[in-house]
Chain A
């Protein structure tokens, strides 16, 4: 690692499998404090799983995940909850609570954890909503918002308790160019302004390389490359080149494994 700043999350030799299917074998990475770290990889590689492992929602088969020096998976329930108050996660779907309006969604964690009086909570919520540009939408229900606005509202909720780290799960997936631009700007600004540690999991190469300070690329159950965006653009690894360049065929084949084409076409139905 060339970065000098303190490491907030340290993953060591982690392996994880779902039933028979191995998702990770021997993954190690470290996430520096106050930076935007991106984790990229093709779909279906288990990037969301990685975030859930960091958040302690899933437990690895072996290896450790340290958050600020504490082993996330050796914590008791209350210690784990104490850790989770220091981190926050932006889900792909936004995961806003559908039975309450935007204001109550953002206020939810504050009301549960902060014990602050309602008028102070109201001010904090309005400030957070102002930060994502949705103060005017405070009284709307989540279903009345567009996808991009839902994600921004969820972002306001994620920063409500002023966490040290935000985990972004596919923040750009399915967004139009304008909302994509807004989200890129917000992630960068929040990271810089609040000295937040950001972990962005995504397969949108251009956006990620644009905002990340450091990038890990996952494929084939492990990390195949890491470095700053510039280093990655220049890398020679053919798998990486295919992914960054978005080429349809290469080390990751276009075809799903099958028997010989000609042979299958000519074979008789039995």
Chain B
């Protein structure tokens, strides 16, 4: 009996998952599948770029600096044992470009902007602002969801680039200014190992995909929130947990595809 219950529970959660994916897909489709409205859409997009992008900048830049510095310090301690401390440059740059830049930025973004998006949308739903838009014959998907989605998709890759650039300078700061690695070797070896196509383009592809996933989850959780305070707080937590897990899983897949061979 309990076995059948367990099977039924499994079945139910599978059905819920499929239904949820379907709803999320419909939401995204409804939000972005239409002609862009430049005159009305642009101010909304700019406002969201401010809320989502500009307001995440400080945390991203500070984290990037510290992560680059820590990476350089730890890397130096290991590399110096092999007498190859000049390889610190590529170590820091490649770790940041290939993994840490896109991934850590996406995780911080999920915590900073994703949770805020969910809470904002949840609040709009529970105070009936979304219903009220619908009754005014204005599609909330286009008015509310679409500008937030695009702002997230534009902001996160830019933030990841900033994070990576600042991180490399943080590594330079520790490696060159503090540990006394030759600045020229630092840059020359770094430049020789970083490839435009393999590293920078892949970094941008990764962060773009992470941006889509994190923003999408945050908006879906907010848009389909149970409209009460408990529902909003649960949805906010779910946004952070689910988007972080999704980013890490997706990162593994992408890394396997990009660097697996």
Contact = CB atoms under 8 A, between A and B. Distances in A.
A–B contact at 8 Å CB threshold (below): yes
A32 to B, nearest CB: 21
Nearest to A88: B135
Given A52-B131, A97-B129, 13 more contacts: A57-B134, A81-B139, A84-B136, A85-B137, A87-B135, A91-B128, A93-B127, A93-B128, A95-B129, A95-B132, A108-B136, A112-B136, A161-B136
A91 B129 CA distance: 9
B8 interface: no
Nearest to A112: B138
10 contacts: A57-B131, A57-B135, A81-B139, A88-B136, A89-B135, A92-B128, A95-B127, A109-B136, A113-B136, A113-B137
A145 interface: no
Interface string B34-52: 0000001000000000000
Contacts of B138: 109, 112
A34 to B, nearest CB: 21
Contacts of A84: 134-137
Interface in A47-69: 52, 55, 57
Contacts of A173: none
Contacts of A89: 131-132, 135
B37 to A, nearest CB: 11
A84 B134 CA distance: 8
Contacts of A92: 128
Nearest to B144: A97
Nearest to B30: A77
A98 B129 contact: yes
Interface in A87-125: 87-89, 91-93, 95-98, 108-109, 112-113
A98 B135 CA distance: 17
A81 B137 contact: yes
A56 to B, nearest CB: 9
